[in-house]
Amino acid sequence: MLKKVKSFHPEALIGDDHFRTYVESFESELLRGISTVAVLQIIKQHPEEGIYGYQLLKSIEQETDNVLIIEEGTLYPLLRKMEKDGVLESTKKELSGRPRKYYTLTDEGHKLLNHMLGFFAKLLEAISPLMEIKIDLPEDEFMYCPNCANKIKLDEVTKFCEVCGIYVEELINQRA
């Protein structure tokens, strides 16, 4: 976000190149992982038809009120890596006479996304007191694996965590 700041008071903290670089680096590191989760979550919203890169960029901007902006030079290498890693699969289709690559999640991609969402949610919940924010996780809809934080839907029949393999059936039944 700070990279988008074009004007500021010369005496502002970010007026100093050292501090501006420090804050931009912090934002970049924090957004790297969040971008991966956001990309996967948007792709998940298009299970049948998939979504192509430019549409994905615009969806992320819209869904995050232009706070999370991923550059094309960041998105396409990320998509290629996730496809190579078996998290995504792609299909080439033509739209208005232009070839496009549409991405969908693989079964493994769905499982990894659930783990990432669970880990991120539990991390936010854990650090929320330090940040003076309040996080209310939907504990009536999901359970978070006590071993790896994988997000597990309570309305599905589940005996074992898909990510770490720990037995969770009794824990789920206790919550019902």
Q: What is the CATH number of the domain that holds 20?
A: 1.10.10.10
C-alpha–C-alpha distance, residues 156 and 161, integer Å: 12
Q: Residue range 25-41: average pLDDT?
A: 90
C-alpha–C-alpha distance, residues 157 and 172, integer Å: 9
Q: Of 88, 105, 122, which residue is a domain's last?
A: 105
Q: Which of 88, 80, 81, 84 is nearest to 109 (CA)?
A: 88
Contacts of 123 (CB under 8 A, 6+ apart): 149
Question: Residues 100, 46: one domain?
Answer: yes
| HSE toward the beta carbon, residue 7, CA cutoff 13 A | 0
What are the pLDDT digits (tens) for 68-79?
888 899 999 999
Scanning the structure block, which residue is given the tokens 């029949």? 157
Number of structural domains (the chain) is: 2
Question: Residues 81, 112: one domain?
Answer: no
Q: Residue range 134-151: average pLDDT?
A: 89
Q: Residue range 125-152: average pLDDT?
A: 90
pLDDT at residue 125 tops 60 = yes
Task: Write b or e for each residue in 21-34: b if 16 or more Cβ atoms lie within 10 A of its Cβ, otherwise e.
Answer: eebeeeeeeebeee
Range of the domain at 51: 1-105
pTM of the complete model: 0.84
pLDDT at residue 2 tops 60 = no
pLDDT at residue 121 tops 80 = yes
Q: How confident is the model at residue 3 (pLDDT cuts 50, 70, 90)?
A: low
Question: Residues 5, 42: one domain?
Answer: yes
Question: Residues 118, 163: one domain?
Answer: yes
C-alpha–C-alpha distance, residues 151 and 161, integer Å: 9
Residue 72: strand, helix, or coil: helix
Q: What is the pLDDT of residue 28?
A: 84
Contacts of 168 (CB under 8 A, 6+ apart): 143, 145, 146, 152, 158, 159, 160, 161
Strand-pair partners of 92: 101
Encoding tokens for residue 160?
A: 């074992």
C-alpha–C-alpha distance, residues 138 and 119, integer Å: 14
The Cα angle at residue 35 between residues 50 and 87, in degrees rounded to 5 = 45
Question: Residues 34, 45: one domain?
Answer: yes
